[in-house]
Amino acid sequence: MASKVAFVKQETNWFALFPKLLVIGILCVCFYPIDKQNFFFIAFFIYLFLTLLARWLFFPNVLYEGIKLIREAKFQEAIPVVQQTIDYYSKKPWIDKYRFWLLISSAKRTITESSTCNLAYCYLQIGQVKRAKEIYEDVLRQYPENVNAKSMLNTINLVSKVTEANTAN
- Per-residue model confidence as pLDDT tens digits over 126-140: 999 999 999 999 999
Q: How many Cα neighbours within 13 Å face the side chain of 90?
A: 10
Mean pLDDT within 74-79: 96
List the domain boundaries for the chain.
14-58, 60-168
| 15-42 confidence digits (pLDDT tens) | 777 878 888 889 989 999 999 899 989 9
Q: Which CATH superfamily is domain 60-168 in?
A: Tetratricopeptide repeat domain (1.25.40.10)
Strand partners, 12: 107
The answer to which of 89-93, 103-107, 130-134 has the lowest mean pLDDT is: 103-107
- Say what the pLDDT of residue 63 is: 82
What is the Cα 56 distance to its own chain's centre? 16
Digit-coded pLDDT (tens) for 44-74: 999 889 888 888 887 777 888 998 999 999 9
Query: How does residue 119 score in pLDDT terms, banded at 50, 70 and 90?
Result: very high
pLDDT of residue 10: 57
9 pLDDT above the threshold of 70: no
What is the number of other CB atoms lying within 10 angstroms of the CB of residue 9? 12
Give the pTM: 0.74
DSSP three-state, residue 51: helix
